[in-house]
Structure 1
């Protein structure tokens, strides 16, 4: 939901940020409490994993390496956001994307470095956003990444109902 909201804001006709939407996101995150925030972090890592899995499969279909073609673009994009992404967070986000590209759980990979720091939260969101935007540009469909995740969630829910 957060990533989809950011994608829609970027593609909106207005170049101004929506303070009402920002306030709603902040209220949501505040209402979650510490356990809920951990769930959001795990969910964001899962999104990164799913986006990188899709990108890996798409690149392998053309005999290309996802790390070679996606990670440098991701790093360059993150470095272009110095107010939101501190330079010291870029290697962590690149490592997270590479872990996901090689089939490793980003959440489990990250655990070896300790808890998330406050300075890494925006870069983590930016990483998920940039990967979703990359997929949307590849498919020439502004809603493809969101639809892909929605369909995956629907399949999981249907599988749970059948059990």
Structure 2
């Protein structure tokens, strides 16, 4: 029996645009001299506004696709060590979210945990989230933050600051060739 949240039924979205945003956040984290740049935030806001509703939906779907890909990689890595991704990864990331109240308000943490768990179970996070209505403005930063936390977790596991980004770009390059 197929699930209504089967990843094969989910829109892929703008994975390239989402990856660009996530990677730029990661690079800002890794640059110890970086400060919160209001100009950069203004440009990101301007970029998001220029997308229009369909472009923004594609970016949201692309971010969910990244979350799914990252959790799939983590699930395979955990299974290789006889561990469960939900038991191993989700509590760590949720704990980190709780320590970041400006990005993750308490009321959005269950939604972000649900995205992680749905992906960990092999379900589409965007289709899982769609069951509960449209995305809210309050969920935008936490969604991006969740993807950044996953990518950074993968980078730490692989001891390579660019591994998560390279993994996706390699997959996209392979898909382009097919």
TM range (shorter): over 0.9
Deviation at 1:155, TM superposition (A): 1.2
1:113 aligns with 2:125: no
d(CA) in 1 for partners of 2:160 and 2:52? Answer: 35
1:125 aligns with 2:133: no
The number of residues matched between the two structures is 159
TM-score, length basis structure 1: 0.94
TM-score, length basis structure 2: 0.87
1:56 aligns with 2:75: yes
Deviation at 1:23, TM superposition (A): 2.5
Deviation at 1:20, TM superposition (A): 3.1
1:28 equivalent among 32, 47, 51: 47
1:137 aligns with 2:172: no
After TM superposition, list the pairs within 5 Å mapping 1:7-86 onto structure 2: 7-86=26-105
Q: Partner of 1:116: helix, strand, or coil? A: coil
d(CA) in 2 for partners of 1:127 and 1:24? Answer: 21
Match of residue 14 from structure 2: none
Q: Can you give the 5+ residue segments of structure 2 that lack an aligned partner in the other structure?
A: 1-19
Q: Partner of 1:8: helix, strand, or coil? A: helix
